[in-house]
Amino acid sequence: MRNFRKMMISGLAAAAAVLMLSGTAFADGVIIAPGVTIPSHDTASMGPGPGGPGGGSAGTDTTANVSDGQQTEQQSGQPAEQTPSVPAETQTAAEAQGPSAGTEAQQSGEQAQAAAATDEASLIAQSLQDQYRIFPTADPNIVISRGRKIDVTKPLLALTYDDGPQTAAGNRIIDAFDKYGQRTTFFMVGDRVPSRAAEVQRMAADGHELANHTYSHTYLNKVGAETIRSQVQKCNDVIEQTTGIRPRIMRLPGGNRNDTVIANVAMPIILWNVDTRDWDHRNTAKIVDAIMGKVKSGDVVLMHELYDATAAATEIIVPQLVEQGFQLVTVSELAALKGVELAAHKIYYSF
């Protein structure tokens, strides 16, 4: 019997080793699934098993079951025949406490999992409200941002769209990203926002980034300092009035700039390093070809919200990029996850 018990304990130890080797994360003494946030607990009061808080004292194996002989004795009230007594030093805490210990450990583990799921759902909801904050989880490779989880070990790519809002194409683009749990950045022209407020509000509610593309698509290198500042501020103002969110990044129409522009745009200036030239050819196949097989982690891709061809290309490239392992993120997320602190008056092409 003693040899059998040793074999059982050895088996439990081996199972624990398999869990660790299979990538199961451990936090605060609780076995958790990757990406699940576990509320902080006093680890001194918790055991190493799946019971979590209240699952047993530190160092106690709460997963062991009572022996068949003990169960028989408890049910009948009579000593079980041919069942030798177990020396006290070989009994686990669960055996000493009786058969209810395993049940309590299981219930405690279920409560910890439920708390973790609730906490994660709360973080996801909060991340849609606080869209420029990235929330860590118990898994160091998983963060929560803009209403979904991001695996930072995967390649990160920012697809971006200029010149909107344009409702027909824009809603198709949003649909494509939302279907696969991905996010994008819309660089919008301010004077087009009021007439398409519902689309812009949907962008914000779904976790996409709202960005500045001047108020009236003005080539800022052709105007003076006062007009430059006005174009930027008025665009920010109208987007904030429509959604409650003030843009934190901007893109120059045409990418046109000079020293006066740089000095008077008090925001990070985001350009691009992959140009689909959709504005030129307006051809779905060419847009797809400009991206698939050519992009890498950290790239910023330029497209325009104006064209049906671009919407159609988006419906093709988003699922293909996700299948290849890309995480499609906003520009601000890309910068933050690549460790880049965006600064006003500075130009960025990629990260």
Cα–Cα distance measured from residue 299 to residue 331, given in angstroms and rounded to the nearest whole number: 10
29-44 CB burial, b ≥16 within 10 A, e <16: bbbbeebbbbeebeee
Which long-range contacts link 318-321 to residues 24+ away (Cβ below 8 Å)?
Answer: 318/159, 318/176, 318/177, 318/179, 318/180, 318/182, 319/176, 319/179, 319/180, 320/292, 321/157, 321/291, 321/292, 321/295
Cα–Cα distance measured from residue 257 to residue 262, given in angstroms and rounded to the nearest whole number: 7
| Amino acid letter, residue 337 | L
| Amino acid letter, residue 25 | A
Backbone angles phi, psi at 331, to 5 degrees: -65, -45
188 membership: H or E segment, kind and range: strand 185-188
Q: Quick one: which of 265, 266, 329 has its CA closest to 295?
A: 329
Q: Which residues are catalytic?
A: 162, 304
161 membership: H or E segment, kind and range: strand 156-164
Which residues partner with 160 through β-bridges? 185, 302
178-193 CB burial, b ≥16 within 10 A, e <16: beeebbbbbbbbbebb
